Amino acid sequence: MVFFYSFIIKIFFKHTNIYNNNPLVLNTWGLLLYMLIKKKVMDNKTLKNIFNFIEINEGKKTPFVWKLINNDPFTEDDLYIKGDLDLSYITNVFSLPNGLKIEGDLDVAYSFVELPKGLQVGGNLFVDGTYLEDYNKAQIEEMIYPGFIKGNVIYEFKLEI
């Protein structure tokens, strides 16, 4: 059974940006991992041991979202995300760490995340279904000053087919 879980975790690492020493961009594999935790298929201690094993033996970092959800301490390197960070629908995280820099988009849609001062977003900020919907881009940038949002603030994401 542990082999199966370690296999899932290896697939998870492979299909995220971890292999480039980047923090986790939550995607389908991240959601799978989150569901394993949520459904108590695998407890947090077992997952933490697997992440520690992979970090020690393969030099791959523990995923950013894992640390965020479990209140693990962040290193300076963890706070720089090369790519997008998707925290949409994650309802048990209420704040982000100070000094967070994201090269790509930040999606906090339908979550309760409060943005920290100094947050830097190199792409768009998705805020659908959050308290941030009541604010324009200038007001949100004032909240996170001296941080910034290079892209747009997206209030309602519509996929056109």
- Dihedral sign of CA atoms 36, 41, 46, 50 in order: negative
pLDDT digit string, tens, across residues 22-41: 444 444 455 556 666 565 55
Which amino acid, one-letter code, is at 30? G
For residue 60, what pLDDT is reported?
Answer: 80
Give me the residue spans of the domains in the chain: 1-74, 83-155
pLDDT mean over 79-91: 91
**What is the C-alpha to C-alpha distance for residues 47 and 49, in angstroms, rounded to an integer?**
5
Neighbours of 110 (CB within 10 A): 15
Residues 37-63 have pLDDT tens digits of 565 556 777 777 877 787 888 788 888
85-86 and 106-107: which strand pairing? Answer: parallel
Residue 120: beta bridge partners? 101, 148
Cα gap 160→29, rounded to integer Å: 24
